A and B are shown apart, each in its own frame.
Chain A
Amino acid sequence: MATQQELSETRQDSGVGIVQTRLATLFAPPNWLKLAGGGELGPIQVAYETYGELTPAKDNAIFICHALTGDAHAAGYYEDDDEKAKPGWWDDLIGPGRTLDTDKYYVICANVLGGCQGTTGPGSINPETNQSYRLGFPFITVGDIVEVHSALTRHLGIEQLLAVIGGSLGGMQVLEWAARFPDQLRGAICLASAAQLSAQGIAFNAVGRRAIKTDPEFKDGEYETGAGPRYGLALARMIAHITYLSDQSIEMKFGRRLQDHDTFTYEMLPEVEFQVESYLHYQGKRFVERFDANSYLYLTRAMDYFDLVSQHGSLVNALGKTEARFLIASYDSDWLFTTSQSKELVRALIECGKHVSFIELKSPFGHDSFLIEIEQLNRMITPFLEQAYSTRLAESNRT
């Protein structure tokens, strides 16, 4: 067994090494955040991490928008991580010499508003009542999430980001950013995402929320911290997890293999007979340990409500104001956020004469591909960022 210190020392040299989550307090009254759904919120605490150094010209910042249940911990290890701990969720993409090269770029990732990993959400204490907000938390939208991200960026002294990057709900934030703060980004990298969630996506979210709300422990959201609708939340995760995979990836990973027996048991009560069952139960169980059910309700609703088309009249109106360069990618095996949804974005961007690159990447891993196929992303994103950065440097040299 390695000691904590030894662990920490070996990890220091891989990727971004040992990192810390920091907290910023924004929108302190009277500067409340005005929410899209009405009402005001403040103060808002934001949990974020940064990797690399900001240049004196503050021109090398890249913001990562995480997906539905992600967090600010995109890369590296914490000082007190034990042996089993995994690095941040996009660690292979971030670090010296990696795609988001921390020798060149300053990388920021923050937990979303309404989340439960350090940023203000339904589990946070309402300063007015000294109680958790729970379902008293106001409705939030992807627009509100991006307002907070943008405020954090300015809080860090950055006027304009070199790029904003994200997949899935993270990709929606990228698009929202381009629509809401068109001058604040030079590059927009939108992976496995869309201008609106499909009806099928809303349907799966509905089943997840139903699972949570019908759990007797849900108690209209008034469950005690640490308790709550464990079975409902786990079930919500199991359903969602299936939508992140593809038939091919489930087949490859599990096939019809049985978990503990060589033949069928012909018993009805035990729930885990196939390997795929065991896997889903495990995913559900692990998720409950790290995620708050109320946050899940708020964030899936924010995702359902997101619709750049209805919000702006058309995609051309939504995306026509920015001069950012777009890089859009979908995955051939993704059935939650399909290639045709990405192509809708591409079509609108071409229509309004924007700089847009698009590719449908090949991968068997379904919607989750953007978290798995790192080398594929590297080959595409590295030259995109290099171009964005060299163009920016050339511009500042001219002026």
Chain B
Amino acid sequence: MRAQHRYCMQDPSLEVTDKLLLEQIQPGSRVLDLGCGDGRLLARLREERDASVLGIEIDITQHHAAIARGVPVIQADLDEGLLDIPDGAFDYVVLSQTLQQVLHPKQLLEEMVRVAKKALVVVPNFGNWRIRLQVLKQGRAPVTEVLPYEWYNTPNLHLMSMHDFQDLMRLLGIEILQEVPIINHQAVEKAWLANLRAQHVLYVLQRVEGPAELPASHHTSTGQSTPITH
């Protein structure tokens, strides 16, 4: 099997990303997790950060598993946007290891900064040197993550490097508040040659408010803005 000879990007253990995300979130915040799975991260946020949480999950088994943890969860398809989430309803929105798999990453990012003050996004970095080398040497599409997907069945639809991501943020008028490269299971802030070395990156994002734009919470349809506690 050709696929097995290829380099497979390490999956940052869930513990590493969970810990990083937990550290970012202020106690008492309201947090939305997109693709929350069984609600593992949200349950921790509630316990350890006294957060008020909500998950979005498409898979019914995972959805029910989140209910079993007492984590509130909405079944929805991220490819259809976040229509049911009012503007500015959350302090943080989290999207971990999923952006590269959605159909419309640009729209989703715009939605994320609409519904929350800060967006936390963890993405694989396809600018990593091993992937570059692999493409160069083998002349084949890169295969990443723990499973050796082929180009025709990979869930990773959109491959981006750190530079690519930064470009898109400039285009969307989204400010990158923080950029944390994850190199060999460790968060390395201000890493040297990050775009070559990082396997994954955590971004903390925020919409840059234009002067003419109303604050997000003034948008809400039913008249009352959400009380948000810090």
B159 beta carbon closer than 8 Å to chain A: no
In the complex, which residue of chain B has the Cβ closest to the Cβ of A326? B72
B122 beta carbon closer than 8 Å to chain A: no
CB distance from A195 to the nearest CB of B (A): 11
Stretch touching chain A among B5-13, B137-145, B196-204, B222-230: B222-230
Scan B42-77; emit 1 where CB is below 8 A from any A CB, else 0.
000000000010100000100110111110111100
A372 beta carbon closer than 8 Å to chain B: no
- Contacts A316-B223, A352-B226, A358-B75 given; does A347 touch B63 at CB 8 Å: no
Tally of contact residues, B, Cβ under 8 A: 27
- Contacts A327-B67, A350-B54, A351-B86 given; does A358 touch B220 at CB 8 Å: no
Binding site of A, secondary structure by majority: helix, strand, loop or mixed? helix
Bound-state CA distance A353–B31 (Å) is 11
Interface bin, chain A: 20 to 34
In the complex, which residue of chain B has the Cβ closest to the Cβ of A349? B72
In the complex, which residue of chain A has the Cβ closest to the Cβ of B75? A359
A311 beta carbon closer than 8 Å to chain B: no
A214 beta carbon closer than 8 Å to chain B: no
A104 beta carbon closer than 8 Å to chain B: no
Give the most central of B66, B223, B227, B228: most A CB within 10 Å: B223
A4 beta carbon closer than 8 Å to chain B: no
Bound-state CA distance A357–B73 (Å) is 5
CB distance from B112 to the nearest CB of A (A): 15
Tell me whether A358 and B74 are in contact (CB under 8 A). yes
Which of B54, B63, B85, B221 contacts A359, CB < 8 Å? B63
Q: Which B residues are CB-close (under 8 A) to A350?
A: 54, 74, 84-86, 89
Tell me whether B75 and A316 are in contact (CB under 8 A). no
- Subset of 17 A-B contacts with CB under 8 Å: A346-B74, A346-B84, A347-B84, A350-B54, A351-B220, A351-B226, A352-B226, A353-B226, A353-B228, A356-B54, A356-B72, A356-B74, A357-B63, A357-B74, A379-B64, A383-B64, A387-B70
Residues of chain B touching chain A, judged by Cβ–Cβ distance below 8 Å, are 30, 52, 54, 60, 63-64, 66-70, 72-75, 84-86, 89, 220-224, 226-228
